[in-house]
Structure 1
């Protein structure tokens, strides 16, 4: 699963590859993005061009009676995308990239859990495969997104049995391409086995979504390992299904 992520530098490598302006208007570094907060995304606009914008993390389907269910839909299992009503329509024509340069996973350590920060070598930006939808049942339209998860890679499986579906720059365009057939884009949702995926333990500051500083991604020390208890499912916005 993926219950927290980071994007502390503008993802210039991705924007350049997709031939987009190398800036995100209003971008601010984020070190501890939590459910219901805004994620930077790339999706196709009405003209078929990739466009950057923020969306609320936690999918609210267009047909939902209200927006309260979004907190339970921050992740979508790759294996059930085609069979679940909340995802099947978005899978056809509302695939998106959710920009990141790291994510957190809590792994058991004795009687507690410790936060691990996963990132690529050099903290290079990457993208999660995502889906988005627009809910118009409120005063203003609400664009929301969900991160797709898949089985864990060989390395990541030492910490959790699931991981977010990470896309390389080569596969990002294929994921968003409206002409791609289902077999092609579903094949992109494999575990990321790149040797550049790294992880290390971080401070328990990240357990609270109120903390959002560079200290969240700093390697843990004997002092910073002490702190708050790991976030429960309610705080993560996850019902334990992913």
Structure 2
């Protein structure tokens, strides 16, 4: 799963010519959390991609107000096409890309230590997502969710779920509305290589939002020692 992530992209090797149209109204957070406003990119292909300000907690189009009473910031790949909350976005292929510098995960066993997971080479991770449009009386608002699946490699040592991370090639396929068997596709996409290191527990408090959150705590013993 993913409940916290870092929006500040120091570099975007391989993505800089794709993720170009960023919404000015999104400030960007070192500690993005469910319900915060984040940037998600939507479009039929890379040539039409555009960044939108979206609430990171998907609100279905049929909701009476722009809010939900249960967690919808993550959507399990195994059940996404069945859940009423996500079904409309899934059927309509309302797919998006959610970029991040890295995300935070707390290991499930032992000391419950927080870790920062990222790709040290590219500086950019891109997650497969879905988005929705909610129509109010005089407004249209957007929201999104990250799709998750069973984790592997480094992430599996920390948590049994992981956001579906995409390579540039996989992202292009994900945006194609004619994609056959999208569940099978996301289940089998190649792993994106990531590394993880221990960080301060300050990230657990959404009020903390500064660059120190991603500083490594080398004296802390973790599963990787």
TM range (shorter): 0.7 to 0.9
Contact map agreement 2:166 2:189 (CA 8 A) in 1: no
1:169 is aligned to 2:191 = no
Residue 78 of structure 1 and its aligned partner are, at CA, apart by 0.3
1:213 is aligned to 2:210 = yes
Question: Aligned with 1:105: secondary structure?
Answer: strand
Give per-residue Cα distances to partners, 1:192-224, cap 9 Å, x unaligned: 634x310011111111111111101110255xx
| Corresponding pairs, count | 215
Residue 97 of structure 1 and its aligned partner are, at CA, apart by 0.4
Residues in 2 aligned to 1:70 and 1:103: alpha-carbon distance in whole angstroms? 24
**Aligned residues: CA RMSD:** 2.4
Residue 152 of structure 1 and its aligned partner are, at CA, apart by 0.6
The correspondence of residues 193-208 of structure 1 with structure 2, limited to 5 A, is 193-194=191-192, 196-208=193-205
Give per-residue Cα distances to partners, 1:108-153, cap 9 Å, x unaligned: 454x522111101235212110000011135532200000000011
Give per-residue Cα distances to partners, 1:162-220, cap 9 Å, x unaligned: 11110111111111112222x156412447634x3100111111111111111011102
Residues in 2 aligned to 1:29 and 1:68: alpha-carbon distance in whole angstroms? 21
Question: Aligned with 1:122: secondary structure?
Answer: coil
Give the helix-richer structure, 1 or 2: 1
Q: Which runs of 5+ in 2 are unaligned?
A: 221-225
Q: What TM-score, normalized by structure 1, do the two folds share?
A: 0.79
Contact map agreement 1:165 1:192 (CA 8 A) in 2: no
Q: Which runs of 5+ in 1 are unaligned?
A: 226-242
Give per-residue Cα distances to partners, 1:25-74, cap 9 Å, x unaligned: 536452110111112111017xx821111211000000112233165101
